[in-house]
Structure 1
């Protein structure tokens, strides 16, 4: 659903850019409360994993494909504020390095694919988790439903942007019907990928899933005839040892998906591309500003073998995304640590 340059006019694109910038700023502050020494590097890995899986277009209807958006997955794994940042990092890397998604439309893409999907999915996820029994299976089921709904929600978001700033004169009813119809089908694939990933992480490390926090009841001890919470075990597991295996497994998985499996992805246009071509939305599409990038269209320039070219591009993309994402989240985490230290020092001097 990457919106290219030319679909939405410049005033609306600029306004959406301001909205996206505000959302990222708020998310940077909110992510400080979500990230700790263990989850900061994992957030960069989540961004890289989303980048990799977005290369795996899957067929959903005759001549149409879909791919993961990732907002629900990121929000459930690392938190909604951090989730918005994860998807934003992915979109930025795709736009700059791979000419995927317009640069003037970056605000539209971040607002729609990062903010809308994350907010809608996480709000629904939390509501479902509260209603269902407090079990790991409930988290997986809730993640499936939340991810399913997030994709047509993003389709509605694009329809809204097109309604107020579309550059072609197409009846909005046709755009709405085409976008929502195909993206409901894509949402099923999104839901399956999200639920499988969340379920796999919960199975091995439920403590690392943000959306599963608080599911385990504390151990109770009877003291003087009353049940009280047992004290937590002393000596926390070192962060590097506690997450190393998960991080390494996730990175290898992302590299394999982007570097090898992506070659077998569907070549059909995705939902937005198909609707745009069918309805004439793409008549004023503008050339991408980084169309001459050596990695444009997810291939390495001057590498003739399509399999090798696409695989190298995928590996480079995963590496770049995990590096940039990890750097961003470590910086956010360090600012929280600095702020906490400053507050503690000020409190001790009072």
Structure 2
């Protein structure tokens, strides 16, 4: 789904860049509240950055890793995770936009994946659209479904599924306004939506499995599962059953460190990017396939950093394909988790400074 330079003309690319910049600015401010861990039940004041900034950085790194795992969806076509739904549900919609944007920036600059002039287009389609559509639908579903772990997982599945064709629709609209080739928009729209519905199924499975796994062990770390109550289990005649609901709230998860979750997530990301990615499908993804079939790629331009040491997810001068791709994946995960965590530390620190100014006798409220 990464659009290269040349698919969309300069004026529309610039407009998409301005839209993306505005959305990121809004997200930076919104993420300050989402990263404020004091909003979680039982959290101590000032605990936010220690818990949420590294976790948000990990989410970005995990999305980077899973995006390397193209899966087949049709004859000669593959797909990969976009990640907007997953990020929004795990860390919140504003932080989610920033997570996917960090991934797209790392991919464009270091790996020559997605054009630099098309970065605004890619952020608009892959970060903003998927995150907002998925989270809006997710919130509606969790309000009407029973407040259980299964409901959160099911809502995650549906939200992720819908977010991918929604992204394809937005790309088609941008192409309709600023496409550089004269092709039938009806055919492009049908092909884009059709193949991305199939890709959405894969996205939905990955998102639901990931959210379900985290909710099962640490629901307090999942933004979309805040307020989810854990049923007390009792052993009756050798079997575990739910204890009767007494109406009492469970004790807050005050000082539970997310370190184990962070380590497990980082190790998983490194294994996926450094080893499993070698077995990913080599077929073109949905956008690449549609572009080739309908002539959209006639005006595609070579990436500005096509000669970079990590271009095309391989390490330059390393001849072994498995080793080259694995090293590139590990480097990508490492750079993304550091860059993402740094961004979220800075965002959270700014929030702390605003709070200090607001409560200072000589400060002013922001």
Q: TM-score range by the shorter chain?
A: over 0.9
Cα gap change, 1:274 to 1:231, in 2 (>3 Å): closer
Residue number among 90, 101, 104 corresponding to 2:114 in the alignment: 101
Is residue 2:31 matched to residue 1:20?
no
Structure 2 residue aligned with 1:325 = 340
SS in 1 for 2:349: helix
Contact 1:218/1:230 (CA < 8 Å) preserved in 2? no
RMSD: 2.0
CA distance in 2 between counterparts of 1:171 and 1:100 reads 26
Structure 2 residue aligned with 1:300: 315
- Correspondence list, 1:163-182, <5 A: 163-182=176-195
Aligned match of 2:211 in 182, 189, 198? Answer: 198
User: Could you say which residue in structure 2 is the equivalent of 1:71?
Assistant: 84
Corresponding position: 1:257 with 2:272:
yes
Per-residue CA deviations over 1:69-121 (Å, capped at 9, x if unaligned) read 00000000000000000000000000000000000000000011000000000
TM-fit CA distance, 1:214 = 1.5
1:291-350 CA-to-partner distances (Å, cap 9, x unmatched) read: 010000000000000000000000000000000000000110111111111111148999
Asked if 1:271 is matched to 2:286, the reply is yes
Query: Deviation per CA, 1:112-156, whole angstroms, max 9, x where unpaired?
Result: 100000000000000000010011110000000000000000000
Q: Distance in 2 between matches of 1:183 and 1:111?
A: 16
Does the 8 Å CA contact 2:158/2:204 hold for their aligned counterparts? Answer: yes
- Go from structure 1 to structure 2 and tell me whether the alpha carbon gap of 1:217 and 1:311 turns closer, same or farther (over 3 Å shift): closer
Cα 1:307–1:135, aligned 2, differ >3 Å: closer, same or farther? same
Match of 1:315 in 2: 330
User: Which residue of 2 is the match for residue 124 of structure 1?
Assistant: 137
Query: Is the 1:218–1:229 contact (alpha carbons within 8 Å) kept by the matching residues of 2?
Result: no
Q: Which residue number corresponds to residue 263 of structure 2?
A: 248
Q: Which runs of 5+ in 2 are unaligned?
A: 36-47, 233-245
Q: What's the TM-score once normalised by structure 2's chain length? A: 0.89
How far apart, CA to CA, are the structure 1 residues paired with 2:108 and 2:11? 20
Q: Structure 1 residues 229 and 269 mapped into 2: Cα distance closer, same or farther (>3 Å)?
A: same
The Cα of 1:236 is off from its aligned counterpart by: 3.3
**Aligned residues between the structures:** 339
**Distance of aligned partners of 1:280 and 1:199 in 2 relative to their CA distance in 1, 3 Å threshold:** same
The secondary structure found in structure 2 opposite 1:288 is coil
Kindly provide the CA deviation profile for residues 40-89 of structure 1, in whole angstroms up to 9, marking residues without a partner as x: 11000000000000000000000000000000000000000000000000
User: Any runs of at least 4 consecutive aligned residues in structure 1 with deviations exceeding 3 A, and if so which?
Assistant: 227-233, 346-350
Match of 1:91 in 2: 104
- Tell me what 2:33 maps to: 33
On the 8 A contact 1:263/1:310 being kept in 2, the answer is yes
Q: 1:223 is matched with which residue?
A: none
Matched-pair contact (CA < 8 Å) for 2:152–2:225: yes
What secondary structure does 2:138 align onto?
helix
How far does residue 215 in structure 1 lie from its aligned partner after superposition? 2.1
- Unpaired runs of 5+ residues, structure 1, are 220-226
**Partner Cα separation in structure 1 for residue 142 and residue 119 of structure 2:** 33
- In the aligned structure 2, how far is the partner of 1:280 from the partner of 1:249? 43
Q: What are the within-5 Å matches in structure 2 for residues 110-189 of structure 1?
A: 110-189=123-202
Identify the residue that residue 254 of structure 2 maps to in structure 1.
236
Specify the alignment match of 2:73 in structure 1: 60
CA distance in 2 between partners of 1:18 and 1:218 (Å) = 47
Counterparts of 2:90 and 2:265, CA distance in 1: 13
Q: Structure 1 pair 127/164, CA: closer, same or farther in 2 (3 Å)?
A: same
Structure 1 pair 348–20 and aligned structure 2 pair: CA distance change class (3 A): closer
SS where residue 59 of structure 1 aligns? strand
CA contact (8 A) 2:172 2:188 kept: yes
